[in-house]
Amino acid sequence: MMQRITAVNAKEEIAKLKNEQCAEDDVFFQAMEEVLLSLLPLFKSDEVYAKNAKNAIIQRLITPNRVIKFQVSWLNDKNEIQVNTGYRVQFNNALGPYKGGLRFHPSVNEGILKFLGFEQILKNALTGLPIGGAKGGSDFDPKGKSDFEVMKFCAAFMKELHNYIGPRIDVPAGDIGVGAREIGYLFGQYKSITSAFEGVLTGKPHFFGGSLMRPEATGYGVVYFTRKMLELETKEDECIKGKICTVSGAGNVALHVIEKLQHLGATPVSCTDSSGTLYDKRGVDLELLKELKLNKRVSLKEYTKVHADAEFTPVADYPEEGHAVWEIPCDIAFPCATQNELTVVDAKKLIKNGCMCVAEGANMPSTSEASSIILKSDMYYAPAKAANAGGVAVSGFEMSQNAAMQKWTFEKVDAKLKETMENICINVSETAKEYGVEGNYVDGANIAGFKRVADAMIAEGI
């Protein structure tokens, strides 16, 4: 029987849970452990939260309110029935309707979605908006499927999911493998089942209710956050200009990190996909990248057909513990592909090569051990939970626009995004200082996010 879990006994209790549960949950425990250990300074100094035992806040926070798992059967282009598994993890709605993306990727399982849903609770709290935390998805792989197959899968997925969502209940968005195309098909099916044209999904194409700037929001937000953090820490202006940046991923987040870095006068020199790493030391050709990854949906290797002097390293040619992209000398590293893509080996390489900052675009891209090394080093560290909150913030703006039947301009959304990311950065920095861990943005983000959710949970009772 598990002891009541607190920030003080988190390590031992999580170790016991790990022994009892399946390997799928490893990433969930990794995320939980990081958060709970971060909360120690808060629990030591603040009476309200020290009474955790009475309110069972942590127990309630680490247990999803509801996990929905369902069969998704759909017809492929050969008229054969295909079967996948769909999920929605509705984690916590103390602050507002459940909110969080859908991921379509063969690696998806309940453990990954619990980790992402748990992270989402605190991330959403940091935005200051009235939104709870959730995540969902399927082990369906959109890669290699025709447009019609993707449409039929999305329709079958929504046939079940529509029972559990609604603009005041749960508002999903995109994530890996789910972009505007998939959100469009999901929305169409929801509308046809319920007859309701309502803001039940965010990340919709802008011509039927989507917010302008939602595609750019996460990537731009990461750069706005990083710029503010460097300004606060180094007291210098224009901290991004002239920097050499490495970026991993070549999807929604990575492409828009690259775009904003270029706007601000930095030189992003890399990106990666599941086939390998691309290094173009003159600075990546963003137009070509968008054509290859968003329109043609092909491997990054194709880039070298146009730019013969760029280097492509296939995944198979690189040792397992490390990743080619983190070996490239840089000033700032932006991991923007997936979880645990930056290991101890990679962190040590970044330090050796004089990197000054790691800014996380993907969710939990650094392993626990890599995070510890980064925190102990001289590098500045922008953790995902705070740095990549721009996507969900603009999703929140999309909910407001839909509810009010309004459409904001690109400039208005961009200004509000920038303001939100800078406010999150200042809040995280000040919280870290208040609890005696100045400069530690990981602890600052976890404490600031937790306080907002915990206050609501205590006030709402059980």
Site size toward ligand NDP (CB under 6 A) is 23
Which is closer to ligand NDP, CB of 13 or CB of 346? Answer: 346
CA distances (Å), 86 to each of 73, 82, 113, 154, 162, in order?
A: 10, 13, 11, 10, 12
Of 369-398, binders to ligand NDP (CB under 6 A) are 388, 391
> φ and ψ at 245, to 5 degrees?
-125, 135
- The mark string for 67-86 relative to ligand NDP (x by CB under 6 A, - otherwise) is --------------------
Site residues (CB under 6 A) for ligand NDP, limited to 226-285: 249-254, 273-275
Comparing CB distances to ligand NDP, the nearer of 293 and 418 is 293
Question: CB 41 → ligand NDP: shortest distance, Å?
Answer: 27
Nearer to ligand NDP, 232 or 258 (CB): 258
Structure tokens at 406: 């309004």
CB 276 → ligand NDP: shortest distance, Å?
Answer: 9
Closest approach of ligand NDP to the CB of residue 339, in Å: 6
How far apart CA 91 and CA 86 sit, in angstroms, is 16
- For 93-158, give the DSSP string: -SSSSEEEEEEE-TT--HHHHHHHHHHHHHHHHHTTSS--EEEEEES---TT--HHHHHHHHHHHH
Q: Does 174 bind ligand NDP (CB under 6 A)?
A: yes
Residue whose pair of structure tokens reads 């880039």 in the numeric block: 303
Nearest distance from residue 193's CB to ligand NDP, in Å?
Answer: 25
- Rounded to the nearest whole angstrom, what is the least distance from the CB of residue 257 to ligand NDP in the complex? 9
Instruction: Report, in Å, the least distance between residue 385 CB and ligand NDP.
Output: 10
In the bound complex, which residue of the shown chain has the CB atom lying closest to ligand NDP? Answer: 251
- Residue identified by tokens 């505007």 is 180
Which residues are CB-neighbours of 136 under 8 A, at least 6 positions away? 68, 86, 87, 88, 89, 100, 101, 102, 103, 113, 161, 172
Q: Which stretch binds ligand NDP (CB under 6 A): 71-79, 168-176, 325-333, 414-422?
A: 168-176
Q: How far is CA 74 from CA 77, 150, 155, 159, 425, in A?
A: 10, 10, 8, 11, 44
Among 93, 211, 226, 363, binds ligand NDP (CB under 6 A): 363
Which range touches ligand NDP (CB under 6 A), out of 82-90, 357-365, 417-425, 452-460?
A: 357-365
Alpha helices in 267-325 (DSSP H): 286-290, 303-306
Is the separation of the CB atoms in 325 and 336 below 8 Å? no
Question: Exposed (0-12), middle (13-18) or buried (19+): which is 223, by Cβ within 10 Å?
Answer: buried
Contacts of 305 (CB under 8 A, 6+ apart): none
Residue in 102, 176, 200, 332 binding ligand NDP, rule: CB under 6 A: 176
* Residue 146 buriedness (CB in 10 A; 0-12 / 13-18 / 19+): exposed
How far apart CA 231 and CA 422 sit, in angstroms, is 11
Report the alpha-carbon distance of residue 366 to residue 443 in Å, rounded: 15
Indicate whether 338 belongs to the interface with ligand NDP (CB under 6 A): yes
Residues labelled catalytic: 135
**Nearest residue (CB) to ligand NDP, 13 versus 398:** 398
The answer to whether residue 210 forms part of the interface with ligand NDP (CB under 6 A) is no
Q: Kind and range of the H or E element at 311? A: strand 311-314
Task: Please pick, from the candidates 13, 149, 170, 175, the single residue that binds ligand NDP as defined by CB under 6 A.
Answer: 175
If the CB atoms of residues 56 and 294 are measured against ligand NDP, the closer one turns out to be 294
Nearer to ligand NDP (CB atom), residue 41 or residue 383: 383
Q: Which is nearer to ligand NDP, 13 or 273 (CB)?
A: 273
What are the φ and ψ backbone dihedral angles of 301, each rounded to 5 degrees? -55, -30
Binding status of residue 362 toward ligand NDP by CB under 6 A: yes
To the nearest whole angstrom, how small is the minimum distance from the Cβ of residue 52 to ligand NDP?
29
The binding site for ligand NDP (CB under 6 A) comprises 174-177, 218, 249-254, 273-275, 293, 336-338, 361-363, 388, 391
